[in-house]
Structure 1
Amino acid sequence: MKAFSVFQRVVDAILRWICIVLFALLVILVVYQVIIRSFGGGNAWTEAMARIIFIWQGIIGAAYVIGENDDVAIDFLVRKFPAAVVKFFEVLAHSIVGFFAVWVMIMGGWRLADSAFDQTVELLPFSQGQIYLILPVTGILIAIYCILNIIKAVTSEVKIVAEEDIDLASIQEEGI
């Protein structure tokens, strides 16, 4: 289990840095595009590249968030059940996400990428297939993360978070 933990920390760090770099590139491209347009010029490739970077960052970010187990979960109802039922629903949720990753992202993404290698991206030196390869790559990462999350859910104790009453005054004081 320790090897899985080390593997996950390394992959998490790599994904985190990829997201940071992609976001920085996105900001640079958009600022460059705004400045060039304000002087009456324009580079059409920057818009196409910014769109691709935005999509890639979102997909890679989704894999990172699933790896951190910070994805959106509406589990307030499930947390009211006994620990065994909570574990069952955690395993079920990770299994559904893993199934989606394998079926849609890996298999479907590979078919999509394979069918689009002969299509060029307008204004960029890439093929559509190269851009679509992000789907099976992140699908593999999400599937691995789902397996790791299922193992963690089965082997660890269920964390029951005590419900707290929401105090609007304290929220307003904190500025949230």
Structure 2
Amino acid sequence: MTKFIYVVDRILSTFCVTLMVTLVACVVWQVFSRYVLGAPSTSTDELARFLFIWVGLLGAAFTLGKKKHLAMDFMLLALEGRKKAILQMVITLIGLFFAIVIMVFGGGSLVMKTLSNGQLSPVLGLEMGWVYAAIPISGACMILYLLRDLLAPTQD
């Protein structure tokens, strides 16, 4: 499982960096075209929005996997031994429930409904379901990391 997690980490990190570089290029072009050329590019504005969604959601999954996400861990830090392990398990189970029910099931149904309705983005003409696909994909990655944490918890 460790090798598989390593591969997922590499794919997520490479994809997030690529998306972020593209996002920065879109924003720089948007600023340049608006203030230097005097004709703002509408397509880069919409693309930057969609890239930001993907970077945010996939970046959240990646940071969860690296255990670098923002957390209020004052209760965990105050506990030791068995109580700390139980609380960590409860936190992981709540995260797992959220990722399964909200992100994968809810996000997946949003993607399917949007694709079946044929909703298109106004400027690029992309099917919005593909933009929303970041939700269940991110949720699936989170599930993988949370299952790893549940099955092989680390001792801090």
Q: TM-score by structure 1 length?
A: 0.83
- The equivalent of 1:20 in structure 2 is 17
Give the equivalent residue in structure 2 for 1:125: 125
Listed as ranges, the matches of 1:150-169 within 5 Å are 150-153=150-153, 156=154, 158-159=155-156
- What CA distance in whole angstroms lies between the structure 2 residues aligned with 1:93 and 1:149? 11
95, 98, 117: which one aligns with 1:97: 95
Indicate the residue corresponding to 1:48 in structure 2.
46
Q: Distance in 1 between matches of 2:29 and 2:72?
A: 40
Distance in 2 (alpha carbons) for counterparts of 1:63 and 1:77: 23
Aligned residues: 153
1:149 maps to 149
CA contact (8 A) 1:33 1:46 kept: yes
Q: Deviations over 1:68-90 (max 9, x none)?
A: 12222222332222311111111
Q: 1:103-124: per-residue Cα shift (whole Å, max 9, x none)? A: 0001100111111111011111
CA contact (8 A) 2:114 2:129 kept: yes
Please give the TM-score of this superposition, normalised by the length of structure 2: 0.93
Instruction: Identify unmatched segments of 5+ residues in structure 1.
Output: 160-176
Alignment root-mean-square deviation, CA: 1.2
- Which is richer in helix? 2
Gaps of 5+ in 2: none
Contact 2:53 2:134 in 1 (8 A): no
C-alpha separation in 1, matches of 2:142 and 2:131: 18
- Larger-gyration structure (1/2): 1
Aligned letter for 2:20?
F
* 1:5 paired to 2:2: yes
Task: Give the conservation status (yes or no) of the 8 Å contact 2:107–2:136.
Answer: yes
Residue identity in the other structure for 2:129: G
SS at match of 1:77: helix
Stretch deviating more after TM superposition (92-101 or 66-75): 66-75
